[in-house]
């Protein structure tokens, strides 16, 4: 709506949405494909919206606004915000790194406690073995939140195999080796699932 009480026509509205969508996507260091992945649409749909050839529906606008940490009104404003949003690139590296570091700090504290309380226990080092899949879980969570499918697939794969190795070492059973066969099957299913996710449903 303009200051004189009139409303913008559809073409103008499409142009505003296209410009603001492009603006906030770039400010958040996202490609069209990454944005499409987050909202479960195709990159062709995002490209169409950014060209002004179409409009996302109200639900998609809400998803996009939440993803960019803004309200829908800001996304639909004719004038761009005075100050651009803070680019999250460094945050997306620093926060996961801190989280993984906390996992290893906790493992070190437990290891030290075990060495002090039960000095005869010679398997205290295994807490560091458990820290590996725990770190992978942290990476999976942040990959799902901020990174693309490739990083998420790599993180899940690391979790699968580190968990398999941990089980193999922890369980004192000679016939536990088939755990790697199971891990291989889960790995295959994971790859197939990510291949399906790589082709999201096309928007209308």
Specify the pLDDT at position 133: 94
Residue spans of the domains in the chain: they are: 11-75, 91-197
Q: What is the mean pLDDT of residues 7-17?
A: 79
Range of lowest pLDDT (8-17, 18-27, 80-89, 101-110): 80-89
Among 2-6, 22-26, 134-138, 156-160, the least confident range: 2-6
- Give CA–CA dist 165/99, Å, rounded: 22
Pair 197, 149: CB distance under 8 Å: yes
The predicted-structure confidence for 99-131, as pLDDT tens digits, reads as follows 999 999 999 999 999 989 988 888 888 899 999
Name the pLDDT band for 136 (thresholds 50, 70, 90). Answer: very high
d(CA 95, CA 107): 19
CATH code: domain 11-75 is: 1.10.260.40
pLDDT value of residue 104? 95
pLDDT level of residue 88 (50, 70, 90 thresholds):
low
DSSP, residue by residue, 113-161: HHHHH-TT-TTTTHHHHHHHHHHHHHHHHHHHHHS-HHHHHHHHHHHHH
Give the burial class of 131: count Cβ atoms within 10 A of its Cβ; 0-12 exposed, 13-18 middle, 19 or more buried: buried
| Whole-number pLDDT of residue 4 | 43
The answer to whether the beta carbons of residues 45 and 203 sit under 8 Å apart is yes
pLDDT at position 134, please?
Answer: 94
Average pLDDT over residues 137-162: 87
| Residue-level pLDDT at 174 | 67
Residue 135 predicted with pLDDT over 50: yes
Per-residue pLDDT tens over the stretch 21-77: 988 888 888 888 888 888 888 888 888 898 888 888 888 889 898 888 888 888 888
* Mean pLDDT score across all residues of the chain: 82
Q: Whole-prediction pTM value?
A: 0.56
Mean pLDDT of 13-26: 87
Q: Which residues contact 66 (CB under 8 A, 6 or more apart)?
A: none
Task: Please give the pLDDT value at position 76.
Answer: 84
Q: Is the pLDDT of residue 98 over 90?
A: yes
């Amino acid at each position: 709506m303009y200051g004189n009480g009139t409303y913008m026509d559809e073409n103008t509205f499409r142009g505003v949405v296209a410009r603001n969508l492009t603006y906030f996507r770039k400010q958040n260091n996202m490609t069209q494909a990454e944005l499409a992945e987050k909202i479960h649409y195709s990159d062709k749909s995002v490209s169409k919206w950014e060209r002004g050839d179409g409009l996302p529906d109200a639900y998609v606008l809400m998803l996009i606004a939440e993803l960019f940490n803004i309200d829908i009104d800001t996304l639909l404003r004719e004038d761009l915000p005075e100050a651009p949003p803070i680019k999250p690139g460094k945050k997306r590296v620093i926060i996961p790194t801190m989280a993984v570091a906390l996992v290893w700090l906790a493992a070190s504290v437990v290891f030290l406690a075990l060495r002090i309380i039960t000095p005869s226990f010679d398997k205290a080092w295994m807490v560091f073995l458990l820290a590996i899949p725990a770190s992978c879980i942290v990476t999976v969570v942040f990959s799902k939140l901020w990174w693309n499918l490739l990083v998420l697939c790599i993180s899940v794969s690391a979790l699968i195999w580190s968990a398999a190795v941990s089980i193999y070492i922890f369980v004192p059973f000679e016939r536990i080796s088939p755990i790697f066969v199971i891990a291989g099957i889960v790995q295959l299913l994971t790859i197939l699932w990510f291949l399906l996710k790589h082709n999201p449903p096309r928007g209308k």
